[in-house]
Amino acid sequence: MSIRVTLFFVLAVAVAGCATTGPYAEVTGEKLERADGHEEQVLIMGVDGKLDVRGSLSETIEPGQRSVLLATTRQDRRGMNASAVVPLNAQACLRYYFVARHESMLAVHPWKLVLKNVEPIPECVARFPQHAPVPAKPAG
């Protein structure tokens, strides 16, 4: 077998291995309803102790017990965002929508994280039908 054929085979196996990732879950901080002035989007700042100082509105995570650091996008007078850690038992092929619920329409504090919705991820369900979830409605 020539070196080119061997190299091609190794690369093909490596690429195929990367393409066969397992089912996943997603955490998102995007608001579903725009009319409520007490609610703000949240940024995903870290998962399982791995921090992302930029933060993002959506993060793909592995299913299982996770610890997610979320921060409200509303800033205080010093330009700081309040944050909190949420334990999450992430199920495969589910998207979790979180928002920050503030008591005041203007102030940052007091506030709390609210799980607004849980829905199946169509792309994940199509790719991994054996993991098709039956989500329960969130309380609150």
Could you state, in chain order, the average pLDDT of each consecutive group of 10 residues for the chain (140 residues)?
Answer: 39 38 94 82 94 88 96 88 94 96 86 94 94 66
Distance of CA 128 to the CA centre of its chain: 18
Report the alpha-carbon distance of residue 48 to residue 5 in Å, rounded. Answer: 41
pLDDT of residue 90: 97
In single-letter form, the type of residue at position 75 comes to Q
Give the pLDDT confidence score for residue 135 in this predicted structure: 52
- Label the pairing between strands 64-75 and 81-90: antiparallel
Predicted local confidence at residue 111, as pLDDT: 92
Q: What is the pLDDT of residue 140?
A: 53
Are the CB atoms for 42 and 29 separated by under 8 Å? yes
Cα 93 to Cα 125: distance, rounded to the nearest angstrom: 6
Alpha carbons 101 and 108: distance in angstroms, whole number: 9
Between CA 81 and CA 137 the distance in angstroms is: 28
Residues shown for the chain: 140
* CB distance 108 to 74 below 8 Å: yes
Instruction: Identify the DSSP state of 135.
Output: P
For residue 76, CA distances in Å to 83, 85, 109 come to 12, 19, 9
Enter the pTM of the model: 0.77
User: Can you tell me which residue has the tokens 């990367």?
Assistant: 18
| pLDDT, position 17 | 38
